[in-house]
C-alpha cells in the first residue's frame, strides 16, 4: 500500500498524475523539483526502502525509447525498449534493478504522449525493417497496470502500426485489461518463470508459478500471443529435475504450437550490480553460489555449471516447441 | 546503535532520564550521554545548523559509528497553526540560507502528522505553513554523508505558533513539551531500532574473521577475500555443518594465509546450494 507520494511540481496538474493520486487518498504527498532529488540519491538503502516504497510521479525528458540489449532480441531487426516506470512491486532476489538503482521507490513517468511520439518516430524510421519494442526492462509491464493504465494507453498505438511488435514482459496476473481488449497479433505477453522451488525462495511477492500459468492459459484462450522466458536460469541442488517438472507443468496447460517464442538465459549480472546485491543481501544463498567473472565483466555461474544447466534446459524444452520459436540468450 | 541529537539541555533532559543515559567523561566539545546496555546515546549540540552538524560529526567519531546506526534529531519548532505540543515528523527539510533540500526516507508507518521543515540561520518570527527551526538541515546534511538515509529521522515538537509567540518559550516549557511527547518519540525510535539492528547483523556475517587474521599475516587483498569467503561459508553451511570439527579448527591446520583461503575455497566448492 502506497502511503507516500512524491510529485514533481511541474506535473501536479497533469491529468494522469491526478488520477493516480486519487487512488491513494490517504498518502502523504510531497512536491519536489525533479524526481532525482529523491530517487537514486546517495546513502539510500534499496533493501530498507523495499519495506515501504514510495510512489514518485515524474516527467521523463528525452531518451524515451532506447536500443535494447541484443540478447533480448526475438527475431526483430531493430530492437528498442521503453520504460514508463522504474522499479517493480515484486522483489526477486536476482533482479538487476536492485543493483542498478539505489532506490526501491516506484517512479511512474506520466507523460505517455512523449513515449508514444518517440515510438511512432522509430516505427516510421524503420521502414521495412522488422521492429520490436520491449517494455518490462526497468519494471514489470503489467504489475501496476490498474494504476498506470499502461495497457489501455499503449496498445492502441501498436494497433495502428501492425508492422511493429510489442513485448510485455511480466510475472503479473493483472490481465483484466488484456482480457477485455481485442487480441492483436503484434503484441506478445511474455511470462518469466523459474521452477516453483526456486520462485518460492527468490521471487518474493510475485504471483506463484501456478497462477502465472493460469494467466497464460487465459490469455492464450482469449487469442493473445504468448511467450515464455526462462531467464535467468537459476541453479540449486536438483535444479534440472525442477526445470523439467516446470516445463511439463506449463506445456500441459498451454498450446505449444500457438506460442510466439521461448527464450532462456543464464543468471548473469554486471560485476558492479552483483557487488551491490551481495552487499545488500549478504545472507542470500544465491550470491554464495559457485559464481565466476567472465571476460565481459559479468558475474555468472562457473562455466561447467552454467553450460550444463543451459544445455539441459534447452534439450528439455525442444521436444515441446518448434526450434524456430526458441531464442537462446547468450550474453555472459 | 541509536544516536539522538538535541539542541538544548532542557530538550535533552527528559530523553536522558527516559533512556537512563549517562554523561560520558572526556567526550570533547559536546556533552554526550550513553547507555551501553541499550546501545543508545544522546548528544547536546547547542543552537544552529553548524552546531548540529558538528555534534553529529563528533558523535560519529566518538562512537566510531557506521552505516547501520540510527540517528534522530529531536527538537522544537515553530509553525503558523499547529497546536503547541504537537509532535511532527518531517518529510522535506530545506536549508533556507543555502537553498538546499533533503527528503527523509521513512520506511515505517506513523500516526504522526508529516510536514516540511525550513531551517533558518536566525530565529524567525514569520509563521508559515512549514515548520521552522535552526538545526534540522545541519543535522541532516551532516548525518547523511555517512549514515543510511532510511535510518535517519527528524522529529519536531511545536513550541510556538502565530497565536503563542516564541517569547513565551522557556526551559521549563521545552522540557514539558518533550516529556509530553516521549511516547510518540519512543514509538518512532522503536521502529528505527530493529532496522538498525538488522543492518548490524548483516555486517557481522563474516563470523570468525577477527580470530583468523590475528594468528597469521594477511595482506589487505587477502583480508578482503577472507571476509567474502567466510561470509559465503557461513551462508552455505548455516544448516549443514561440514563434519564435526568447527571450521576454525580445520583452518588452524593451515600454515599461511594462502592456505587458509585455498582451504575455504575447497570447502565452498563442496557446499550444497539450497536456496531455501
Ligand atoms: S518481476 Fe522482474 S522487474 Fe520485478 S522484481 Fe522480479 S525480476 Fe525484477
What are the tens digits of pLDDT across the range A51-84?
999 999 999 999 999 999 877 788 889 999 999 9
pLDDT at B244 over 90: no
Q: How far apart are CA B195 and CA B272, in angstroms?
A: 30
Q: Which domains does chain A have, with CATH numbers?
A: 66-82+113-329 (3.80.30.30)
Q: What angle, 0 to 180 degrees and rounded to 10, lies between the N-to-C axes of helices A209-222 and A239-253? A: 30
Contact B142, B61 (CB under 8 A): no
pLDDT at B233 over 80: yes
Q: What angle, 0 to 180 degrees and rounded to 10, lies between the N-to-C axes of helices B257-269 and B220-236? A: 30
Whether A285 and B269 lie within 8 Å, measured CB to CB: no
Tell me: the pLDDT tens digits for A276-296? 999 999 999 999 999 999 999
What SS3 state is found at B209?
helix
Pairing of strands A298-301, A268-270: antiparallel
Q: Which residues of B touch A49 (CB under 8 A)?
A: 105, 107, 150
- For an interface test with B, which of A50, A283, A288 has the most B Cβ atoms less than 10 Å from its Cβ? A288
What one-character DSSP code corresponds to residue B134?
A: S
As a whole number of Å, the end-to-end CA separation of chain B is: 30
Q: For residue A232, say if its preceding peptide bond is cis, omega within 30 degrees of 0.
A: yes
In angstroms, what is the span from residue A57 Cα to ligand 1's centroid? Answer: 20
Grade residue B239 by pLDDT with cuts at 50, 70 and 90: low
Contact B84, B157 (CB under 8 A): no
Alpha-carbon A20 to chain mean position: 21
- C-alpha cell of residue B58: 563528533
In angstroms, what is the span from residue A95 Cα to ligand 1's centroid? Answer: 6
Taking CA atoms, A219 is separated from A188, A191, B200, in Å, by: 10, 11, 46
Give the one of B205, B232, B275 whose C-beta lies nearest to A236's C-beta.
B275
pLDDT at A70: 79
* CA angle in degrees (0–180, nearest 5) for A45-A267-A202: 55
Tell me: the pLDDT tens digits for A128-142? 999 999 997 899 999
Mean of pLDDT values over B82-95: 98
pLDDT at B240: 52
Closest CA to B263 of B232, B229, B216, B213: B229
Q: How far apart are CA A176 and CA A241, in angstroms?
A: 33
Q: Which residues of B touch A308 (CB under 8 A)?
A: none
Tell me which architecture the domain covering B2-196 has in CATH: 3-Layer(aba) Sandwich (3.40)
Q: How far apart are CA B24 and CA B62, in angstroms?
A: 10
- C-alpha cell of residue B92: 522535506
Whether A235 and B114 lie within 8 Å, measured CB to CB: no
Q: How far apart are CA A67 and CA A133, in angstroms?
A: 9
Q: Which residues contact B49 (CB under 8 A, 6 or more apart)?
A: B95, B97, B119, B121, B134, B135, B136, B137, B138, B139, B141
pLDDT at B151: 98
User: Is ligand 1 within 6 A of the CB of residue A89?
Assistant: no
Mean of pLDDT values over A113-122: 97
Taking CA atoms, A55 is separated from A3, A153, A227, B144, B160, in Å, by: 8, 20, 30, 22, 33
pLDDT at B68 over 70: yes
pLDDT at A175 over 60: yes
pLDDT at B242 over 60: no
Containing H/E element for B44? strand B40-44
Closest CA to B177 of B157, B161, B163: B157
pLDDT at A18: 97
Whether A45 and B148 lie within 8 Å, measured CB to CB: yes
Whether B108 and A52 lie within 8 Å, measured CB to CB: yes
Closest CA to B11 of B35, B36, B33, B29: B33
pLDDT at B210: 84
Q: Which among A97, A189, A212 is the best mutation to test ligand 1's pocket, defined by most ligand atoms within 8 Å of the CB?
A: A97
Provide the mean pLDDT of chain A: 95
Q: Which residue of B has its CA nearest to A49?
A: B107
Indicate if the alpha-carbon torsion angle B10, B14, B19, B22 is positive or negative: positive
What ranges in chain A are assigned the alpha helix state H? 15-22, 46-49, 97-100, 112-126, 145-148, 150-160, 176-180, 196-202, 209-222, 239-253, 271-280, 303-317
Grade residue B26 by pLDDT with cuts at 50, 70 and 90: confident
Q: Which residues contact A282 (CB under 8 A, 6 or more apart)?
A: B202, B203, B205, B231, B235
Q: Which residues of B touch A48 (CB under 8 A)?
A: 105, 107, 148, 150-151, 195, 199
Mean of pLDDT values over A247-274: 96
Residue showing cell 487512488: A23
pLDDT at B135 over 90: yes
Pairing of strands A66-67, A106-109: unpaired
What one-character DSSP code corresponds to residue B96?
A: T
Q: What angle, 0 to 180 degrees and rounded to 10, lies between the N-to-C axes of helices B9-18 and B182-203? A: 70
Contact A10, A109 (CB under 8 A): no
Q: Which residues of B touch A201 (CB under 8 A)?
A: 275-276
Q: How far apart are CA B270 and CA B262, in angstroms?
A: 13
Mean of pLDDT values over A101-124: 97
pLDDT at A331 over 90: no
Share of chain B above pLDDT 70, in %: 97
* CA angle in degrees (0–180, nearest 5) for A7-A8-A10: 130
pLDDT at B166: 83
Indicate if the alpha-carbon torsion angle A101, A89, A33, B146 is positive or negative: negative
Q: Which residue of B has its CA nearest to A51?
A: B107
pLDDT at A112 over 60: yes
Whether A4 and B91 lie within 8 Å, measured CB to CB: yes
pLDDT at B205 over 90: no
Taking CA atoms, A22 is separated from A177, A282, B92, in Å, by: 20, 39, 22
Listed by start position, the domains of chain B span 2-196, 215-269
Q: Find the chain B residues whose C-beta atoms sit closer than 8 A to any C-beta of A.
A: 91-92, 101, 103, 105-109, 114, 116, 144-151, 195, 199, 202-203, 205, 231-232, 235-236, 268-269, 271-276
- Biggest CA-to-CA distance, chain B: 76
Q: How far apart are CA B138 and CA A63, in angstroms?
A: 37
Q: How far apart are CA A332 and CA A303, in angstroms?
A: 10
pLDDT at B163 over 70: yes
Closest CA to B41 of B54, B53, B52, B27: B27
Alpha-carbon B29 to chain mean position: 20
Provide the mean pLDDT of chain B: 93
Return phi, psi of residue B189, to 5°: -60, -40
Closest CA to B107 of A47, A57, A95: A47
Grade residue B215 by pLDDT with cuts at 50, 70 and 90: confident
Q: How far apart are CA A273 and CA A98, in angstroms?
A: 8
Cβ neighbours, 10 Å, residue B21: 19
Contact A70, A114 (CB under 8 A): no
Mean of pLDDT values over A32-44: 93
From A121-130, A312-321, B18-27, B160-169, the region with the lowest mean pLDDT: B160-169
pLDDT at B238 over 90: no
Whether B148 and A51 lie within 8 Å, measured CB to CB: no
Taking CA atoms, A218 is separated from A12, A39, A155, A211, A251, in Å, by: 38, 37, 18, 11, 14
- C-alpha cell of residue B274: 539450497
Amino acid at each position: 500500500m502506497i502511503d507516500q507520494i512524491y510529485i514533481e511540481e511541474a506535473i501536479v496538474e497533469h491529468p494522469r498524475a491526478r488520477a493516480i493520486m486519487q487512488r491513494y487518498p490517504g498518502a502523504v504527498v510531497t512536491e519536489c523539483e525533479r524526481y532525482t532529488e529523491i530517487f537514486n540519491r546517495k546513502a539510500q538503502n534499496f533493501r530498507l526502502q523495499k519495506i515501504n516504497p514510495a510512489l514518485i510521479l515524474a516527467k521523463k525528458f528525452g531518451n524515451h525509447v532506447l536500443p535494447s540489449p541484443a540478447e533480448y532480441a526475438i527475431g526483430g531487426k531493430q530492437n528498442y525498449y521503453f520504460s514508463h516506470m522504474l522499479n517493480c512491486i515484486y522483489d526477486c532476489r536476482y533482479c538487476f534493478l536492485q543493483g542498478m538503482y539505489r532506490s526501491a521507490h516506484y517512479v511512474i513517468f506520466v507523460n505517455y504522449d512523449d513515449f508514444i511520439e518517440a515510438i511512432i518516430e522509430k516505427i516510421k524510421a524503420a521502414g521495412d525493417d522488422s521492429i520490436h519494442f520491449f517494455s518490462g526492462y526497468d519494471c514489470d509491464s503489467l504489475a501496476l497496470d490498474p494504476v498506470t493504465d499502461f495497457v489501455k494507453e499503449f496498445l492502441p498505438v501498436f494497433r495502428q502500426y501492425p508492422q511493429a511488435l510489442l513485448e510485455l514482459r511480466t510475472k503479473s496476473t493483472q490481465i483484466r485489461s488484456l482480457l477485455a481488449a481485442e487480441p492483436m497479433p503484434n503484441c506478445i505477453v511474455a511470462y518469466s518463470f523459474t521452477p516453483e522451488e526456486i520462485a518460492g525462495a527468490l521471487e518474493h511477492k510475485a504471483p506463484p508459478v501456478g497462477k502465472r500459468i493460469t494467466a497464460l492459459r487465459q490469455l492464450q484462450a482469449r487469442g493473445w500471443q504468448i511467450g515464455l522466458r526462462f531467464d535467468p536460469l537459476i541453479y540449486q541442488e536438483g535444479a534440472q529435475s525442477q526445470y523439467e517438472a516446470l516445463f511439463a507443468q506449463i506445456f500441459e496447460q498451454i498450446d505449444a504450437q500457438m506460442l510466439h517464442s521461448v527464450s532462456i538465459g543464464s543468471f548473469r549480472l554486471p560485476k558492479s550490480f552483483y557487488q551491490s546485491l551481495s552487499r545488500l543481501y549478504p545472507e542470500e544463498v544465491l550470491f554464495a553460489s559457485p559464481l565466476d567473472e567472465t571476460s565481459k565483466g559479468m558475474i555468472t555461474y562457473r562455466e561447467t555449471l552454467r553450460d550444463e544447466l543451459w544445455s539441459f534446459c534447452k534439450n528439455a524444452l525442444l521436444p515441446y516447441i518448434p526450434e524456430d520459436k526458441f531464442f537462446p540468450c547468450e550474453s555472459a | 546503535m541509536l544516536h539522538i541529537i538535541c539542541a538544548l539541555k532542557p530538550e535533552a533532559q527528559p530523553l536522558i532520564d527516559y533512556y537512563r543515559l549517562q554523561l560520558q567523561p572526556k567526550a570533547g566539545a559536546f556533552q554526550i550521554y550513553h547507555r551501553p546496555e541499550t546501545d543508545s546515546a544522546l548528544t547536546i549540540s547547542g543552537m544552529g545548523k553548524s552546531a548540529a552538524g558538528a555534534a553529529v560529526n563528533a558523535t560519529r567519531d566518538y562512537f566510531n559509528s557506521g552505516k547501520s546506526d540510527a540517528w534522530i534529531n529531536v527538537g522544537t519548532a515553530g509553525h503558523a497553526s499547529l497546536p503547541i505540543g504537537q509532535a511532527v515528523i518531517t518529510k522535506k527539510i530545506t536549508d533556507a540560507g543555502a537553498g538546499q533540500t533533503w527528503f527523509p526516507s521513512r520506511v515505517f508507518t506513523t500516526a504522526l502528522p508529516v510536514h516540511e521543515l525550513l531551517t533558518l540561520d536566525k530565529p524567525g518570527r514569520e509563521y508559515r505553513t512549514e515548520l521552522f527551526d535552526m538545526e534540522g538541515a545541519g543535522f541532516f546534511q551532516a548525518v547523511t554523508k555517512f549514515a543510511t538515509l532510511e535510518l535517519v529521522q527528524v522529529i519536531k515538537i511545536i513550541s510556538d505558533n502565530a497565536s503563542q509567540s516564541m517569547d513565551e518559550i522557556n526551559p521549563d516549557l521545552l522540557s514539558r513539551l518533550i516529556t509530553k511527547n516521549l511516547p510518540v518519540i519512543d514509538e518512532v525510535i522503536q521502529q528505527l531500532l530493529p532496522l538498525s539492528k538488522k543492518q548490524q547483523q548483516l555486517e557481522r556475517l563474516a563470523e570468525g574473521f577477527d580470530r583468523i587474521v590475528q594468528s597469521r599475516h594477511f595482506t589487505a587483498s587477502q583480508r578482503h577475500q577472507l571476509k567474502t569467503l567466510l561470509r559465503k561459508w557461513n551462508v552455505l553451511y548455516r544448516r549443514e555443518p561440514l563434519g564435526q570439527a568447527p571450521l576454525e579448527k580445520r583452518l588452524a591446520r593451515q600454515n599461511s594465509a594462502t592456505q587458509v583461503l585455498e582451504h575455504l575455497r575447497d570447502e565452498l566448492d563442496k557446499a550444497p546450494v539450497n536456496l531455501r
